[in-house]
Structure 1
Amino acid sequence: MANQAWQGIFSAAEVCFMPEGHFDHSTGLLTVYPRRDGGRKPFKYFTMWKSSPVFSETVKKAWSSHIDGSKMFRLVCKLKKVKQALRELNKVGFTDVQAAGLKAYQEMVNAQNALHSNPTDASVADAELKAIQEYKEKHKAYLAFLSQKAKVNWLKEGDENTALFHQSIKARRVQNKVYSICDMNGNWKDTADEVSEAFLAYYRMLLGTTHEHRTPVIKQIVQQGLVCQDHHRSILNAPYTADEVKSALFSIPGVKAPGPNGFGSYFCKDAWHIVLMMVRR
């Protein structure tokens, strides 16, 4: 109900429509909240990191750490090691991919202007080619970052869709924000602490309490419904191949929400040559 310019200025706004009563329209209650700091952001793997020349080396070094324990424990620990290494890699060359892209673009323009002034100088021509390649790499990383943040793919390879990405990212941020909520007692909460406590209280009640009069599951009743037969069990317990594991992981779109550890299918695709032995087990 608001255009992009309005949303850009009042991004922390919420509207609540009241009952229409005897009118032919509903009253809209508009509240503009102060901008809130979202706090520390959880780790999330970005596919732009693979453009770094030391990406494979960084992941391989962290993944090769010796860890004792069960296979699942080792996998979790290795992912934590990789997470730490990628955070350091991000600080080195990807902290502000937009600024890096703009800087590379200006350096490319300067190199091209220098070539126009000295068209016969081979060293200037080489510098121009190097600047173009550097800009392409930085800009590709920036577009990959925007695409993953917006969860929108390129309309066509090579098209410029930065405006589309920025618009989609803003829309997702607005959609994911919760400024007010009605708690379990029917009371509206509209401060950051109250909203957080309302969520926590609900899930403490849902998951953190013991039901004294819980009805036990009766096996005979379960057997009356659809259950796995012997041929189903044989399919579920059948051995699988590495190609089947790869096919399953690669079929998951990279823009899908990652798991609690922050790694989505993009990581498996980008580092499959390193992690395949552990993942397929």
Structure 2
Amino acid sequence: METRDFQEFVSNTNLIEMKSVGRQYTWSNNQVLSKIDWIFVNAQWIQQWPHMEGVIMDPLFSNHSPLRIQLEVPKERKSGSFKFYNYLADHPRFLQVVETYWRKPCYGTHMLAVWNKLQTIKKGMQQLPHKEFKGIGDKVSDSRAVLIGIKQQMRDHSRQAELVQAAAEAKKQLEKWVLVEESIARQKSKVTWLKLGDANIAYFHACLKNRQVQDQIIRLVNKQGGLLITEQEIEHEVSEFYKELLGSSTTQLPVVLPDIMSSGPILNWEQQRNLVSPVSREEVYDALQDINDSKAPDNDWFNALFFKKAWPVIGQDVTDAILDCFKSGQMYSAINCAPSP
């Protein structure tokens, strides 16, 4: 009950946990480990000091670990890759642009052709926001100013009738740009529990800045408790950690003993046939519909919403590529890898 109340309090007050490094737990009685000490900040803090992070120090003689906020000059952040924004899917020319770029001839396997077509479509998607959606913040301010001006003119009762339609149109435009602005902020911040239209722009931006900090490794604490700050120290520590975690290569792998497998629950013949039956086109489409709209593969940054909205144009080719992958057991390497930072 206390944990639920605490989570509700954090959510209702729009507090954000500051990124911290060091020990995983903040309290211990030598038998139980727990994290009961936290560093929370509000949206204003994140907006002003997004690069700051906490350090969970060694407890020494106390049951509690001291918490310290590290202050330093932020490092330069590299520019991000292409990202598809959901509001583009509602653009009146969305499908037209997708079809124009998708129909350009590409050669090779189905998977390679889909990859090349997606790379080509990026150019078309990048053109839409520059022409129609450039300067969203200014459009919101201008639309709000227009609506306020019309409302002020409506103080003259003799003009109310002629201004009603203009006010309705101005309000419609303002709502359009506000939702676009909030959609962008929400998508960047990865906040999914707040609904569009709740006017959470400041909070979305704060979550975005906090997520950007979470994605960076500014410092690490090694096994000996030492604080690593330089890029060379951090790179060496990460490399050694994964070498120890993954181990060395081997030429033989242990096999599963059939006798042990048969002693537990097993599939009947019909279930086994279903597992190895060919994947159908309907299954590919149904699987896409079950994916959250905001989910996106790392390699091209087109999220599930893009594929759903563009399916009338790209569905045939994408399905062919997926079915080829299941038949051959091979996937184009560029799709099956993470992007370079």
TM-score class, shorter: 0.7 to 0.9
Structure 2 equivalent of residue 65 of structure 1: 104
Gaps of 5+ in 2: 1-38, 321-341
After TM superposition, the structure 1 = structure 2 runs for residues 172-183 of structure 1, keeping only pairs within 5 Å, are: 172-182=211-221
1:215 aligned to 2:251?
yes
Post-superposition offset of 1:210 = 8.0
Identity of aligned residues (%): 21
Post-superposition offset of 1:100 = 2.5
- Which whole-Å CA distance do the structure 2 matches of 1:173 and 1:101 have between them? 25
Structure 2 equivalent of residue 194 of structure 1: 232
Structure 1 residues 232 and 93, CA gap change in structure 2 (3 angstroms): same
After TM superposition, the structure 1 = structure 2 runs for residues 89-128 of structure 1, keeping only pairs within 5 Å, are: 89-117=128-156, 119=159, 122=162, 125-128=164-167
Scaled by the length of structure 2, what TM-score is found? 0.66
- Which whole-Å CA distance do the structure 2 matches of 1:158 and 1:10 have between them? 27
Structure 1 residues 189 and 94, CA gap change in structure 2 (3 angstroms): farther
Structure 1 residues 223 and 77, CA gap change in structure 2 (3 angstroms): farther
Q: Which runs of 4+ in 1 moved over 6 A?
A: 183-187, 227-230
- Which whole-Å CA distance do the structure 2 matches of 1:275 and 1:112 have between them? 46
Post-superposition offset of 1:29 = 4.2
Post-superposition offset of 1:67 = 0.8
Q: CA RMSD in A?
A: 3.6
Structure 1 residues 12 and 163, CA gap change in structure 2 (3 angstroms): closer
Scaled by the length of structure 1, what TM-score is found? 0.79
> Is the CA contact 2:220–2:234 (under 8 Å) kept in the aligned structure 1?
no
- Which whole-Å CA distance do the structure 2 matches of 1:102 and 1:195 have between them? 47
> Is the CA contact 1:11–1:174 (under 8 Å) kept in the aligned structure 2?
yes
Range 1-10 or range 133-142, more displaced: 1-10
Gaps of 5+ in 1: none
> Is the CA contact 1:150–1:169 (under 8 Å) kept in the aligned structure 2?
yes
- Aligned pair count reads 276
- Which whole-Å CA distance do the structure 1 matches of 2:128 and 2:60 have between them? 59
> Is the CA contact 1:19–1:26 (under 8 Å) kept in the aligned structure 2?
yes
> Is the CA contact 1:115–1:128 (under 8 Å) kept in the aligned structure 2?
no
Deviations 1:168-192 (A, max 9, x none): 334423433321125799864324x
Structure 1 equivalent of residue 81 of structure 2: 42
After TM superposition, the structure 1 = structure 2 runs for residues 231-242 of structure 1, keeping only pairs within 5 Å, are: 234-242=273-281
> Is the CA contact 1:147–1:154 (under 8 Å) kept in the aligned structure 2?
no
> Is the CA contact 2:102–2:120 (under 8 Å) kept in the aligned structure 1?
yes
Structure 2 equivalent of residue 3 of structure 1: 41
Which amino acid in structure 1 is aligned with residue 310 of structure 2?
Answer: A
Structure 2 equivalent of residue 18 of structure 1: 57
Which amino acid in structure 2 is aligned with residue 3 of structure 1?
Answer: V
- Which whole-Å CA distance do the structure 1 matches of 2:153 and 2:71 have between them? 51
> Is the CA contact 1:154–1:161 (under 8 Å) kept in the aligned structure 2?
no
